[in-house]
Amino acid sequence: MQVSFALWEQLVQKACFYGVEQRESLVEISNEIAQKHQIDNVEFIHANIDQISFSDYDSFYFYNSFYENMDTSSPIDHSILPDQELYYSYTEYLRKQLKQMPVGTRIVSYWSGWEEIPTSFDLDKTACSGLLNFWRKII
d(CA 123, CA 135): 5
Q: Are 44 and 31 in contact (CB under 8 A)?
A: yes
Domain borders along the chain are 1-47, 50-139
d(CA 102, CA 116): 17
Q: Could you tell me the sign of the dihedral formed by the alpha carbons of 71, 73, 79, 82, in that order?
A: positive
pLDDT given for residue 64 in this prediction? 79
The amino acid present at 60, given as its one-letter code, is F
Instruction: From first to last of the 139 residues of the chain, give the pLDDT tens digit.
Output: 555 667 767 766 778 899 999 999 999 999 999 999 999 999 999 999 999 999 999 999 988 778 888 888 888 888 888 899 999 999 999 999 999 999 999 999 998 878 889 999 999 999 999 999 999 999 9
Q: What is this structure's pTM?
A: 0.83
